[in-house]
Chains A and B, each alone.
Chain A
């Protein structure tokens, strides 16, 4: 108990990144993630690290590109509109096969939107966001402890697969305070023989670039990258199942929506309704298997989201439309209440689980 600390989700991300060996942070302030930058500004100078408030999000992501090229652990963070600005740099990093961690503490949109929590950047995060064929490993924390744990996991996966990972959180996760254990088991950083660290006249030049002059070569790079993605989908998918063994109504929800849904599932069970929850922790790769398996005994899925319904498409794809999937959602910075989710479960149960 005594070695726990009380942290905001944003602070937990920053502290975990430092623990993971990240000594370079570049960002530009935007609510609701500014505490990440503020924390880094305080801590980095004391441990010989670099905190730099860039002149824009575009500058920040290109600084990330530079440090990643040199083989060092590096991160940037922003919120929805800022992530859109970083899109070009993210695509260039994907095209250069560079590791790094991007944090998106989402707010309501589109446009400047508002400062209240949202999950409406799901498509942007899981489909790429920038141009070209690529993916990010997308991790969705549902507690302050997971904000820290998945930050460390994100750095490890990024280095392991030489690609970017993203923490897709929301304003609630960033702002809420919970006790956290910062006792982490950090694996040693892998060697990065590809990094541009100076040849010392002992090896050929390493070149980091996303430009290909020969289309056949560019195609080959894309094929190879997608073989890597298939391997990640096989090995790194994470999810949590709650009361799913005998569930007839299954909620799909991540992040804050999953916390709300868990309460609703508990209330539904008290009323004798067999409800359960599947919580994807990796949004890409999406955990298809638990949904396919659940479709054997579930009568209806309900996707609970802080958006107009984005993950619902992945749920339908994952269970191959074997059971109906309905949407229970709020948008624009509003959060579904446990009562609202419970009502959706009851409605599904009343209809015999069919539409």
Chain B
């Protein structure tokens, strides 16, 4: 994948943003040394980028996360180094944003700088097997809510359609029409389709721009 200076991952709650963020940071690190991943989730106190802290540290990726992430202190806190993401242009960053429009509100203070610099990709993670985004219309409704709250228009889509442990190659293939319809209706390009790495080989000759995921176990 080619990465802009800032890659923002947004989407419906539970669409898979955090797993993709961690995997993209690993991928980016191979291309660019000064890679940062930021956990800017102000909605969900569980399943955080910070859960993958050890893996990220081992890979030499700097993690920007609230000191309260993953603790019992359930408050919508932003990390104190959040402005370094926009101020320090020597880094390339993957930003993991909380779910839905409420999660995207966290972008408020960063959005003007990100837009002004103009070197970003704002990606919407979609999963047709999530009950509230099962078709293009409902997915685009969520997309518009996120854009409105976050103040940054989307530039692309990631199809992460999956059924958890019951995901098969066919489950992914059955989502292709949906993803293409969302792309058509929104006018946004499909940047990649993400699949758990065990399905990668089976699907690599069937789908273009396939991105393999190593799923991050929850640490605690």
* A complexed with B: yes
What residues of A have a CB within 8 angstroms of the CB of B127 in the complex? 6
Beta-carbon contacts under 8 Å, A20-34 to B: 31-32
A115 at interface, CB cutoff 8 A? yes
B200 at interface, CB cutoff 8 A? no
Tell me, in angstroms, the Cα distance from A15 to B132 when the chains sit together: 10
Q: How far does the Cβ of B160 sit from chain A's closest Cβ, in whole Å?
A: 10
Q: Are A4 and B45 in contact (CB under 8 A)?
A: no
Return the contact of B131 from the options A7, A171, A175 (Cβ within 8 A): A7
Tell me, in angstroms, the Cα distance from A4 to B165 when the chains sit together: 12
Name A6's closest neighbour in chain B (CB-CB): B129
A349 at interface, CB cutoff 8 A? no
Q: How far does the Cβ of B86 sit from chain A's closest Cβ, in whole Å?
A: 29
Q: In the complex, identify which listed stretch (A56-64, A67-75, A177-185, A282-290) lies at the interface while the others stay far away.
A: A177-185
Q: How far does the Cβ of A51 sit from chain B's closest Cβ, in whole Å?
A: 14
Tell me, in angstroms, the Cα distance from A32 to B132 when the chains sit together: 20
Q: Are B74 and A31 in contact (CB under 8 A)?
A: yes
Beta-carbon contacts under 8 Å, B135-186 to A: 162-166, 168, 170-171, 174
Q: How far does the Cβ of A116 sit from chain B's closest Cβ, in whole Å?
A: 7
B79 at interface, CB cutoff 8 A? no
Q: Are B129 and A116 in contact (CB under 8 A)?
A: no
Return the contact of A42 from the options B46, B132, B134 (Cβ within 8 A): B132
What residues of A have a CB within 8 angstroms of the CB of B174 in the complex? 2
Q: Are A5 and B13 in contact (CB under 8 A)?
A: no
Q: Are B134 and A31 in contact (CB under 8 A)?
A: no
Q: Are B72 and A116 in contact (CB under 8 A)?
A: yes
What residues of B have a CB within 8 angstroms of the CB of A179 in the complex? 129, 163-166
A225 at interface, CB cutoff 8 A? no
B14 at interface, CB cutoff 8 A? yes
What residues of B have a CB within 8 angstroms of the CB of A38 in the complex? 13, 100
B47 at interface, CB cutoff 8 A? yes
Q: Are B134 and A4 in contact (CB under 8 A)?
A: no
A146 at interface, CB cutoff 8 A? no
What residues of A have a CB within 8 angstroms of the CB of B131 in the complex? 5, 7, 11, 15, 182
What residues of B have a CB within 8 angstroms of the CB of A279 in the complex? none
Q: How far does the Cβ of A166 sit from chain B's closest Cβ, in whole Å?
A: 23
A207 at interface, CB cutoff 8 A? no
Given that A1-B171, A333-B72 are contacting pairs, would A32 and B166 also be in contact in the complex, using a CB cutoff of 8 Å?
no
What residues of A have a CB within 8 angstroms of the CB of B74 in the complex? 31, 115
What residues of A have a CB within 8 angstroms of the CB of B170 in the complex? 1
Q: Mark B7-27, 1 if CB is under 8 A from A, else 0.
A: 000000110000000000000
Q: Are A35 and B13 in contact (CB under 8 A)?
A: yes
Q: Are B129 and A5 in contact (CB under 8 A)?
A: yes
Tell me, in angstroms, the Cα distance from A42 to B145 when the chains sit together: 12
Beta-carbon contacts under 8 Å, A312-355 to B: 333
What residues of B have a CB within 8 angstroms of the CB of A39 in the complex? 132
* Interface-central residue, A1, A6, A175, A333, by most chain B CB under 10 Å: A6
Tell me, in angstroms, the Cα distance from A335 to B108 when the chains sit together: 37
What residues of B have a CB within 8 angstroms of the CB of A66 in the complex? none
Q: How far does the Cβ of B145 sit from chain A's closest Cβ, in whole Å?
A: 10
Q: Mark A172-195, 1 if CB is under 8 A from B, else 0.
A: 000101110010000000000000
**Could you pull out 25 A-B pairs where Cβ atoms are within 8 angstroms?**
A1-B166, A2-B171, A4-B163, A5-B130, A5-B134, A5-B163, A6-B164, A7-B130, A11-B14, A11-B131, A31-B45, A32-B45, A32-B46, A39-B132, A43-B132, A108-B72, A114-B72, A115-B45, A115-B74, A116-B220, A171-B46, A175-B46, A175-B47, A178-B164, A178-B165
> Interface on B for A, CB 8 Å cutoff?
13-14, 45-47, 72, 74, 100, 127, 129-132, 134, 162-166, 168, 170-171, 174, 220
**Given A4-B166, A6-B164, A115-B74, 5 further pairs, Cβ under 8 A:** A6-B14, A35-B13, A42-B132, A115-B46, A182-B131
